[in-house]
Amino acid sequence: MIKYCSSLLAIYFYFSSVVLGQVVEKEKDLRKISIDSSLIGWKKGGMFNLTFSQVSLTNWAAGGENSVSANVLFNLFAKYNKKRLSFENNLDFGFGLLKQSSAKSRKTDDKIDFSSKFGYLIRNNSFFAALLNFKTQSMPGYNYPNDSVKISNFMSPAYLLFATGYDFKKKDIFSCFLAPVTGKVTFVNDQTLANSGAFGVEPAVFDSIGNIIKKGKKSRIEFGGYIKTVLNIKIAENINLNSKLELFSNYFKNPQNIDVYWENLIGMKINKYLAVSINTVLIYDDDIMITIKDKAGNITGQGPRTQFKEVVVLGFSYKF
């Protein structure tokens, strides 16, 4: 492990020395670097997507349940460029609810994702960059159909990540951020969840009759390497794809078990205010234990599993 970390640090320091050498030779760099004047200044915008559906049945012989559902997707961005400096901010928010018959409302989607990246141009399309990312959710989540067992909450979990490294960026189409120096903090502010060791934090210590001797920790700190790629392309007329892949490896605990967060959003514009969107999220985190059940629905244990979510919506959409 020590040799592994030493090699990565050596690569990072070598890269840093190369970058510093380039910064010192400003005169030569300015002759080589071409800056697109159309990208200078602020660029702001966003997207709002709202969908609603209802099913109402009366004396319906084939059976079924009344239901109401709503889903909202919201994105804001603000980007600034001036000469060698680049500053990007993005906020993604998603939330969905489903109400079936007499059952309580259930959450179908819930995410808050904010990222901010600062870059300094060192060559064409190449930046020395620092990134800050924060992820959490807004409402409690339950182990449905049992809505008395809370399995998540606001700031439980929450992830705060800070990384520095190299960023290759091709306008607004593609970027690849490589960060050999990355700190990641996992927060679980709900003490009940923290006591159970949810989301990889240290669980509480109990005595022989179940009393808490030491409360579970509400945070967990990791240090490792991080890669983030973003692709934003036009597939066809009125069809766009936005794909975001994030990989993180903890240098000091099972570095071979890489955390994966892969999100894709396909937007298909029908007219000015009507659109179809397909959103998928794939997550793998070796520290998150998922309940394992057999075919009969009996719990057989817990372990890391690939998580997948898909949201397909047709409704009101507006870009600004």
Average pLDDT in the 268-294 region?
89
Task: Between 304 and 135, name the one with better pLDDT.
Answer: 135
Whether the per-residue pLDDT at 315 is higher than 60: the answer is yes
Whether the per-residue pLDDT at 96 is higher than 60: the answer is yes
Structure tokens at 301: 């244990």
Which residue, among 240, 314, 249, has the nearest Cα to 276 in the 3D structure?
314
Which residues, in sequence order, are bridge partners of residue 203? none
Q: What is the pTM of this model?
A: 0.83
Residue 12 confidence (pLDDT):
41
Give the pLDDT confidence of 109-132 residue by residue, as tens digits: 999 999 999 999 999 999 999 999
Whether the per-residue pLDDT at 31 is higher than 60: the answer is no
Q: Which of 25-39, 41-55, 183-197 has the lowest mean pLDDT?
A: 25-39
Give the pLDDT confidence of 184-235 residue by residue, as tens digits: 999 999 999 999 999 999 999 999 898 999 999 999 999 999 999 999 999 9
Structure tokens at 86: 């680049």
Unique residue bearing structure tokens 């992820």: 135
Per-chain mean pLDDT for the chain: 86
Q: State the Cα–Cα distance between residues 317 and 267, nearest whole angstrom.
A: 10
Helix, strand or coil for residue 39? helix
Name the pLDDT band for 38 (thresholds 50, 70, 90).
Answer: low
Which residue, among 178, 46, 75, 55, has the nearest Cα to 119 in the 3D structure?
178
Q: State the Cα–Cα distance between residues 299 and 240, nearest whole angstrom.
A: 41
Which residue, among 250, 150, 234, 247, has the nearest Cα to 198 in the 3D structure?
150
- Give the amino acid at 136: T
Whether the per-residue pLDDT at 27 is higher than 70: the answer is no
Helix, strand or coil for residue 104? coil
Q: Which of 15-29, 159-173, 272-286 has the lowest mean pLDDT?
A: 15-29
Structure tokens at 211: 């009393």
Strand extents, DSSP E, 188-306: 205-206, 212-214, 219-236, 239-250, 259-269, 274-284, 290-293, 299-303
Domain that holds residue 28: 2-319
Task: Between 27 and 290, name the one with better pLDDT.
Answer: 290
Task: Between 22 and 301, name the one with better pLDDT.
Answer: 301
Q: State the Cα–Cα distance between residues 152 and 220, nearest whole angstrom.
A: 16
Name the pLDDT band for 296 (thresholds 50, 70, 90).
Answer: confident
Residue 257 confidence (pLDDT):
94
Domain with residue 294: its CATH number is: 2.40.230
Q: Contact at 8 Å (CB) between 260 and 282?
A: yes
Q: Give the pairing of strands 67-82 and 41-55.
A: antiparallel
Residue 35 confidence (pLDDT):
54
Q: State the Cα–Cα distance between residues 228 and 126, nearest whole angstrom.
A: 15
Residue 291 confidence (pLDDT):
79
Q: Contact at 8 Å (CB) between 249 and 255?
A: yes
Name the pLDDT band for 76 (thresholds 50, 70, 90).
Answer: very high
Q: State the Cα–Cα distance between residues 53 and 98, nearest whole angstrom.
A: 9
Whether the per-residue pLDDT at 95 is higher than 90: the answer is yes
Residue 201 confidence (pLDDT):
94
Name the pLDDT band for 33 (thresholds 50, 70, 90).
Answer: low
Q: State the Cα–Cα distance between residues 37 and 76, nearest whole angstrom.
A: 23
Query: What secondary structure, in 3-state letters, does 112-160 show?
Result: EEEEEEEEEEEECCEEEEEEEEEEECCCCEEECCEEEEEEEECCECEEE
Q: State the Cα–Cα distance between residues 115 and 232, nearest whole angstrom.
A: 16
Total domains in the fold of the chain: 1
Helix, strand or coil for residue 310? strand
